Structure 1
Amino acid sequence: MPRTSPPKRQQEDAAAAPAPAASLGEQAYIAIKRMILTQELRAGDQINVAQLSEQLSLGRSPIHLAIHRLDREGLVDILPRKGILVKAETIDSFLELIAARLLVEPHLTGLAVDNATPALLERLRAVVAAGWECNQRQDRLGSMEIDRQFHQLLYAAAGNDILAEFAGSLLDRSMRLWFRPPAGKADKPNVAELEDLYNMVERGDKKAAVRRMEQHIGSVRGKFLSRE
């Protein structure tokens, strides 16, 4: 028998249904990662599961799950019988990180242009608008979250879950740059670069969008090196 679509009311109810609450492991992962990215936990800090469990009011099992996930992402080192070390990003490791992003993200951007839908464009446009508001308030944490949302929307639209997950972990590692002291006033705010990308995706200009993403990642490299 041919498949039939669910009734419109049923589709609307499903769309309006609240997202399921994050698991305890996911909650721990998000909380600890945010502490690292915002430098509440600094590179070189030694922490332990008991300390994090008490601080976050979560059991040890979800903390263990989160720590092993962060270890796989390269944000912490698990030291047997010593605890957990928040990893520093050296110049060499950061340059390797940027090189990996340059291999993956322009490709995902091109795929996202191929797969762009009105819904994607609407969401990207809303993220850019929110980014300008954060820029006006000089809200660095909010601007960081805007950057992540924009990139992750492109990753998801590309339609390659494996590459999208890998790109997301690379992006999160490079987010630390947002919380380093600025070397001076940037020539162009980050959200302006995102707006350029949005305009190219909206026009369906794949070649220009790929090139702009390469330049965007290159600007991250320049900002990092200017602080050394």
Structure 2
Amino acid sequence: MTHRAYAEIKQRILTLGFRPGQFLNESTICQLLDIGRTPVHEALHMLKLEGLVEIIPRKGIMIRPDSLNDVIALLEARMIIEPSCMGLAAERAQAHHLAQLDDLLRQSRLAIESGDFPHFMSLDTQFHDELVNAAGNSMLADVMRLLHQRASRIWHLKVWSVDDLKLTRQEHEAIFEAVKRGDREAAISTAQIHLTSLKRRILRGAS
């Protein structure tokens, strides 16, 4: 039950069901999730360790906002780790990984055309998860998934234009083509280009 409480609270935080800076108390969360106090209490302490909530005595639970420094730190961490992961994916991707990546790119194009931005965000996460799977390193996968979970809240906070989504898809396409060719250096380079572009667009919106 603690795992369920943890997963549901975290999902609401990452998708802005609970807004940054919002104050809650354990009783309210228990009622919302229809889960007992002990699992919710334990889940909140797990989320505190991840930096997603602050537990403030006599005030309750605050959903911790991401500062600009947090966003920059997240992007720096991705820039250090993610290109190497894409390089491994280029070396190790199997046919089923490539088929799944190709299908996700196809679906993302349709999501843009239909204006379904939430679905595009979900596909973005799935695309990166599949690239991590293709890299074939479970330790790296754990780190990358944590970074992408934190990044998903930034996706939801920022208002993205259709042009932003189209550019993101084009950058994903370039990564995919490099991985498909088995070109390690190109996979690393295209991942770096994607992350640099993402950082520029996020910081432009924050200025």
Tell me whether the two structures share a fold, i.e. TM-score over 0.5. yes
Write the letter of the residue equivalent to 1:66.
Answer: A
- 1:18 alignment partner in structure 2: none
Pairing of 1:1-228 with structure 2 (within 5 A) = 24-182=1-159, 186=163, 188-228=166-206
Q: CA RMSD in A?
A: 2.0
Q: Is this contact kept in 1: 2:21–2:65, CA < 8 A?
A: yes
Task: Answer with 1 or 2: which has the greater Rg.
Answer: 1
Q: Is this contact kept in 1: 2:91–2:183, CA < 8 A?
A: no
- 1:17 alignment partner in structure 2: none
Write the letter of the residue equivalent to 2:187.
Answer: A
- 1:16 alignment partner in structure 2: none
Residue-by-residue CA offset, 1:146-204 (whole Å, 9 max, x unaligned):
11111111222222222221221111112122223537553643222222211111111
Unmatched segments (≥5 aa) in structure 1: 1-23
TM-score by length of 2: 0.88
Identical residues among aligned pairs (%): 34
Q: Is this contact kept in 1: 2:20–2:64, CA < 8 A?
A: yes
CA distance in structure 2 between the aligned counterparts of 1:142 and 1:66, rounded to whole angstroms:
27
Write the letter of the residue equivalent to 2:150.
Answer: R
CA distance in structure 1 between the aligned counterparts of 2:103 and 2:162, rounded to whole angstroms:
26
- 1:43 match: secondary structure: coil
How many residue pairs get matched?
205
Check 1:185–1:191 CA distance in 2 against 1; reply closer, same or farther (3 A cut): closer
- 1:77 match: secondary structure: strand
- 1:85 match: secondary structure: strand
CA distance in structure 1 between the aligned counterparts of 2:13 and 2:7, rounded to whole angstroms:
10
Check 1:223–1:30 CA distance in 2 against 1; reply closer, same or farther (3 A cut): farther
- 1:3 alignment partner in structure 2: none
Q: Is this contact kept in 2: 1:116–1:201, CA < 8 A?
A: yes
Q: Is this contact kept in 1: 2:112–2:162, CA < 8 A?
A: no
Q: Is this contact kept in 2: 1:128–1:195, CA < 8 A?
A: yes
Unmatched segments (≥5 aa) in structure 2: none
CA distance in structure 1 between the aligned counterparts of 2:75 and 2:41, rounded to whole angstroms:
29
- 1:227 match: secondary structure: helix
TM-score by length of 1: 0.81
Q: Is this contact kept in 2: 1:183–1:227, CA < 8 A?
A: no
Shift of 1:73: 2.6
| Greater helix content | 2
Return 178-187 or 203-212, whichever deviates more.
Answer: 178-187
Write the letter of the residue equivalent to 2:198.
Answer: V
Q: Is this contact kept in 2: 1:102–1:214, CA < 8 A?
A: yes
